[in-house]
Structure 1
Amino acid sequence: MERRTTTDRLLRARAQAIGGEVREESVAAVLDRVLAVQAQDLPAAELGLRVRARGLTQDAVRRATDVERTAVRGWFMRGTLQLVPAADARWLLALFGPVHLALAARRLRELGLDESLCARSERLIIEAIGAEGPLTRAQLTDRLTTLGVEPKGQSAFHLIRRAALAGRVCHGPQREGEATFVLLDDWLPATGPLPFTGAAAERELARRYRAAYGPSDALDFVHWSGLKATTGKSAWAAVGETGSEPLPTPGEPDVRLLPAYDNYLVGYRSRELSVPAAHERRVWPGGGQIRATVLVDGLAVGTWSGGRRGAPVTVEPFPGAEPHTPAVAAGIARESADIARFSS
């Protein structure tokens, strides 16, 4: 049983390009492999691309999102922000947008935002961006106050998110480190019919998950996607095994410093393969936080912090853990240096 657990962990890490000496060569290659990178925290998303690539620069990430428009940030699986290939954004939005619009309706009502105000807000957001170009959340909030929307609280955020889920706007280029919103049709013009719709889109999502997450089952897919259980199980059953990559010849441990909220830590319903049960609270302390982790061959052995704006990386091993071997210590040093290079 232990051998199977180790094998499954190594296969998962390799599928996610965070183990088995696998590293991709570009933002496009990373996203093609894993489909989506968690992006509720944008600097963490950039580090999520770095950890899966070889020699990737922050400029290359910004170029992909802000200039080439080959990667786009939006609310997709589970209704959380993800960075996905631009080529997949529209069919993913068609699949998840209606689901999360329906789920958000109750919250909008709780905030006192009726259908009439929502419709007027959507028109205002579209008109403002159309006239002025990319606008930040704060700028859109300021425009929405002209309709009586409270400038504080969550009302403006939910109205902007509603317009994005409806396919009217999407995240655009950063401006002085702050995200902006643009018109979807301007930023990512439609090039023809969607490649996948309905059940075909659900099956494609299941196929991509199988390839990106290694050994897993239908319930893992349901957990990751946020689809209804019956829908997810049906799509899973319709997609055959993708076939996993062969395990590498055992060698030096593969050490990676995963950012906060990384895919690997949220992509399965169970955490037992990735984080020892005794240390789960170190990674998931509560309040929705998921800490950055030190990974060795797919297994978390500690957490880390720092690495932004020139701050050094600080590693905190799990209590009671054996001291790092020289090979693991060398791997941590290499990853720390690479984070400094990436963030400089």
Structure 2
Amino acid sequence: MKVEDILHARLHNQLISNHSAKTPAEIISGMVAIQAQDYLGAKWSIGLRYPGLTDSDIDQAIISKSIIRTWPMRGTLHFVSAIDARWMLRLLTPRIISGSAGRHRQLELDEATLNKSMDLLIRAMEGGKQLMRNEVYQILEDNGIPTTGQRGIHIINYLAQKQILCHGVHNEKQATYTLFDEWITESKNIEGEEALAELAYRYFAGHGPATINDFIWWTGLKISDAKNGLNAVKDRLQSFEVNKKIYWTSTNLPDQVKKNSAYLLPGFDEYMLGYADRSLSLDPMFSNRIVPGNNGVFMPTIVINGKVEGTWKRILKTDKVVIEIFPFYKLTASKIKSITKEAKKYGSFLDKTVTLEVR
């Protein structure tokens, strides 16, 4: 394989150029998880992977509890299939919780405070109640638990990682929180070595070709656990070497994958965030254009033939969306035509007309 083959294979395995999964739950399950701190962007991450899905379809998948938003990896919000949430949290969050101990001490969040918070919120949410963040904070404040200085969000994150809370349905563009055990009614029950193997296979099948370092970074696993997971499924994967790095991917990659396409990806899409090393798809000289000021906020990207060739932003209006594109280089007429086609798909996703403006 060459670098360009890796990129097209990733587009295929990530369901960007290959639309074999048809529902939000199938799409997310095929990729294990989709990063989701940008709620609107994350919904487009799902929608672009099966043309015809709409923004309201993603909302309905959340309402029907087939997908949920929680913190399984790296302390970062992801969409996961509801059936996978429990085993993934059980496998991945103990290390995150342990790593947060120092920050909890700084915030004076001791075990007694966290346990009291848990008891208060369980009582407040029992019976299927969903509370917005300000309502959660008010309950804590009313019972002598300050939420200022990031204490509140750290309490919520901790309780989500302990499988007490998860996100519910968005309310007036705000996140809500609800009880995990009431929201998740069916779970895949695996743990230990079986869970490591499941995670490894599905990552490399859904994100590959990728390296073991990519897998370690993406999951936040210990190096030894990540290697054990990969070793357990090597016979179900194929590997090859490019530029002195070993890449792993599924064995069912077709001989020919779709090429010569343009895509408008949201800022935190897995195509960018799914790997420790992004240099294959993004020329390092443009890194600051993707993450201005290295502030951790990823701009939406224009991807053409697997390479990032610019950024874009949306301006939402009542009945239309304006898409401004900021290419790194002068675009050919054929590339603009391909981008315009993708822009129209985004408009259909939002049920809005589209205006494209080149900057």
TM-score by length of 2: 0.88
Residue of structure 1 in register with 2:263 after alignment:
256
Residue of structure 2 in register with 1:62 after alignment:
59
Moved more, 216-225 or 144-153: 144-153
Q: Secondary structure at the match of 1:76?
A: strand
C-alpha deviations, 1:130-171, integer Å up to 9, x for none?
168100111000100023232433111111111111111111
Trace 1:11-26 onto structure 2 (pairs within 5 A). Answer: 11-19=9-17, 22=19, 24-26=21-23
2:192 aligned with 1:198, yes or no? yes
C-alpha deviations, 1:66-115, integer Å up to 9, x for none?
1x110011001222110011111111011123222222222111111221
**1:234/1:297 CA distance change after superposition, 3 Å:** same
Cα RMSD for the two superposed structures = 1.8
Name the CA distance, whole Å, in 2 between partners of 1:275 and 1:49: 22
2:306 to 287, 290, 298: 298
Moved more, 55-64 or 142-151: 142-151
1:207 to 201, 208, 211: 201
Trace 1:36-185 onto structure 2 (pairs within 5 A). Answer: 36-66=33-63, 68-130=64-126, 133-185=129-181
Residue of structure 1 in register with 2:6 after alignment:
8
Q: Secondary structure at the match of 1:270?
A: coil
Residue 23 of structure 1 and its aligned partner are, at CA, apart by: 6.1
Residue 247 of structure 1 and its aligned partner are, at CA, apart by: 4.5
Amino acid at match of 1:11: A
Name the CA distance, whole Å, in 1 between partners of 2:5 and 2:74: 28
Residue of structure 2 in register with 1:314 after alignment:
324
2:273 aligned with 1:266, yes or no? yes
Name the CA distance, whole Å, in 2 between partners of 1:308 and 1:40: 19
Amino acid at match of 2:36: A
Q: Is the 8 A contact 2:314 2:322 kept in 1?
A: yes
Amino acid at match of 1:315: I
List structure 1 runs of 4+ shifted beyond 6 angstroms: none
Residue 172 of structure 1 and its aligned partner are, at CA, apart by: 0.8
Q: Is the 8 A contact 2:265 2:301 kept in 1?
A: yes
Q: Secondary structure at the match of 2:264?
A: strand
Name the CA distance, whole Å, in 2 between partners of 1:50 and 1:132: 28
How many corresponding residue pairs? 334
Residue 244 of structure 1 and its aligned partner are, at CA, apart by: 4.3
Name the CA distance, whole Å, in 2 between partners of 1:248 and 1:60: 31
Name the CA distance, whole Å, in 1 between partners of 2:257 and 2:86: 40
Residue of structure 2 in register with 1:231 after alignment:
225
Q: Secondary structure at the match of 1:212?
A: helix
Q: Is the 8 A contact 1:260 1:291 kept in 2?
A: yes
2:326 aligned with 1:326, yes or no? no
* Aligned-pair identity (%): 31
Residue 190 of structure 1 and its aligned partner are, at CA, apart by: 4.5
Unaligned runs of 5+ in 2: 238-249, 352-359
More strand as a share of residues:
2
Name the CA distance, whole Å, in 2 between partners of 1:183 and 1:274: 39
Unaligned runs of 5+ in 1: none
